[in-house]
Amino acid sequence: MTKSTTFDISSLAVNATAIIELETTDGEPLLSAEGDVLSVTVYGPGSKQFQKAQGVRNRAILDYVRKGGKKMKDDEQRELDAEFLAACTVSFNGFGYKDYTGPEMHKAAYLDPGIGFITDQVNKAVGDWANFTKSPAKS
């Protein structure tokens, strides 16, 4: 009897985090005053942190609907989305936001409509599995 070898699908697991390099509204790299590329490190869909944040957001939406809400107000939706993104954010790299620190800084920045293009980029990137795909091993 020969032992058959099978492919272990878990070898395709994605990384828990990824660094998202930010862009200007023109699609150019977003740079600091010193010329460094600004980025955000985020937890992705394959991480426990993302799964927990998504569960919190889904329960909040479900609670809203159960209480008879038809459509969430825009400011309530923005607050919920900012909380989700803040929970998925590991760090801002190369920049800060006002006098805030940690998760409060992340949430406040994501709520700022003046830099909403950053929120949009992070929101799009955090749900894209491709951003968290491991690089193939070099032989």
Mean pLDDT of 94-112: 97
Q: What pLDDT is recorded for position 68?
A: 86
Q: In what order do the strands lie in the sheet with 39-43?
A: 17-21, 39-43, 89-93
Q: Which positions ≥6 away from 76 have C-beta within 8 Å?
A: 64
pLDDT of 103 > 60? The answer is: yes
Q: What pLDDT is recorded for position 107?
A: 98
CB neighbourhood size of 104 (10 A) = 12
Q: Is the pTM of this model over 0.85?
A: yes
The structural domains of the chain, with segments of one domain joined by +, span: 36-128
DSSP 77-105: HHHHHHHHHHHHEEEEES---TT--HHHH
Mean pLDDT of 59-69: 88
